[in-house]
Amino acid sequence: MKRIAAKMLATPSGLLADPIVTIEGAHILEISTRSARAIAHLDHDFPYATITAGFLDVHFHGIAGQDVMNASSDGFQEIAQHLARAGVSRFLPTTVTASLDTTVSSLQRMAEYVETVPLEGTSQAVGIHIEGPFLSHEKRGMHPAEHLRLPSPELLDQLWEAARGHIRLMTIAPELPGALATIRHATALGIRCSMGHSMATQAEAIAGMQNGVASATHTFNAMRAYDHRDPGILGVVLDRDDLYADLICDGFHVAPEAVRLWLKMKGPERAILITDCLSAAERPDGTYMTGDTIVHVEGDACRTDTGVLAGSVITLDRAVANLQKIACAEVHSAARLASVNPARMLGLPELMEPGALADFNIYDADGIRRHCFIRGLLIE
């Protein structure tokens, strides 16, 4: 049993002053306060710090040269170690559009890893995100046009079977023929559907929501541009209070003004931070492969041969730090967008309460992340 104290604890319902978190094994046993309970011994005391929930990256393609599309078991373990050091306790390995055979093979490997008991102190894959092949040709980004497919319940069933039922999130363009039936089928399977890589009109986006869409993928990017007479998918995403919307906050994908607008419109409970992190992350500047696509990394920018932004090379802790700076967000608010909100969007159990996994980050008085606990273990 371990006891950890801090100045503040960010819970899903608010801030708790002078908390004491008791851990038994990998789970939180009790949350109390210094005034409510006299504790003779503390294993860790962070008197000026704030404890936040561990991060969950729902849009992640790879890191440190490891791509989830072709990673071996050892490769996934390396991914999980890198993510743990970034305060990410859980993640969804995310496909990139490829041939059907390649996608099926990748989903089978991902499913095997999801079913593997994670090594001590490493991030855990809690499902799979399929980004493609149900995307718009006009807004495909780096996804190869030749492998895009029209959505159908039958094709989704093939992917679901390959993933052994571990698909938790699906990005789909709701305007495509067959999309609404596929969204309904996915929702019945327990898959959360997210609108993205889409040229949807306002009416098509609303139809997607009416048939089960719960979120939007990398808001602003790979979406029909906003027009004041025809607001399209982006207008719906920003306007609707019942829709989650995620965003890449890396300083390249979205301008600071648009980041602040997104946060104002979606609010503290519907905004989600993602990375869209590629295998080139934590590697030197240079040229790399993501799936079948060549990408060029210079600093924190990652582009294809044609100059299209191709995902990011930041980890989720850096996205949180960027939001703190760009939007003057307090640490507990910024961290919520990378932890509580994505978990709720996916329908996962609540965080930071008795019985939950002991996954959390420790931020100092200056709002800088200093430590991470994953399933009760301090990550050095």
Q: For the residues 71-78, what does the mean pLDDT come to?
A: 96
User: CA-CA-CA-CA torsion for 178, 184, 186, 188, nearest 10 degrees?
Assistant: -150
- Reported as a pLDDT band with limits 50, 70 and 90, residue 177 is very high
Does 239 participate in catalysis according to the annotation? no
342 and 372 share a domain?
Answer: no
What was the pLDDT predicted at 305?
85
* Given 57, 246, 276, 317, the catalytic residue: 276
- Say how far apart CA 52 and CA 247 lie, in whole Å: 20
Tokens of 229: 């007479």
pLDDT above 90: residue 36:
no
The enclosing domain of 47 has a CATH number of 2.30.40.10
Verify that 44 and 69 share a domain, yes or no.
Answer: no
Are 149 and 47 found together in one domain?
no
Considering the domain architecture, whether residues 27 and 172 belong to the same structural domain is answered as no
Ordered alpha helix ranges (H), the chain: 73-85, 100-114, 153-162, 179-189, 202-210, 232-239, 256-270, 316-327, 331-336, 340-346
* Residues 227 and 370 reside in one and the same domain: no
- Could you tell me if residue 9 is inside a domain? yes
CA distance 217 to 238: 12
Highest mean pLDDT (candidates 298-302, 307-311, 338-342):
338-342
- Domain shared by 111 and 186, yes or no: yes
Judge if 132 and 185 occupy the same domain: yes
Apex 115 CA angle, 111 and 121, nearest 5:
115
Decide if 234 is inside a domain: yes
Helix, strand or coil for residue 323? helix
| Residues 59 and 44 both lie in one domain | no
pLDDT band at 276 (very low <50, low <70, confident <90, very high): very high
Cα torsion for 240, 170, 83, 44, to the nearest 10°? 50
User: Looking at the predicted structure, is the pLDDT value of residue 380 above 90?
Assistant: no
Q: Is residue 351 part of a domain?
A: no
Give the pLDDT confidence of 76-112 residue by residue, as tens digits: 999 999 999 999 999 999 999 999 999 999 999 999 9
The CA distance from 354 to 20, in Å, is 12
Range of the domain at 366: 2-52+356-379
Is residue 309 located within the same domain as residue 163? yes
Q: What is the mean pLDDT of residues 17-43?
A: 90
CATH number at residue 89: 3.20.20.140
Pair (61, 111) in one structural domain: yes
Of 200, 202, 96, 208, the closest CA to residue 141 belongs to 96
Q: What is the pLDDT of residues 204-222, one digit of tens each?
A: 999 999 999 999 999 999 9
What amino acid is encoded at 35 in this protein? S
DSSP string, 140-187: -TTS-GGG-----HHHHHHHHHHTTT-EEEEEE-TTSTTHHHHHHHHH
In a shared domain, residues 138 and 72: yes
248 and 107 inside one domain:
yes
Supply the pLDDT for residue 44. 94
- What is the number of domains present in the chain? 2
Per-residue pLDDT tens digits for 285-304: 999 887 778 889 998 889 98
Note the pLDDT of residue 294: 86
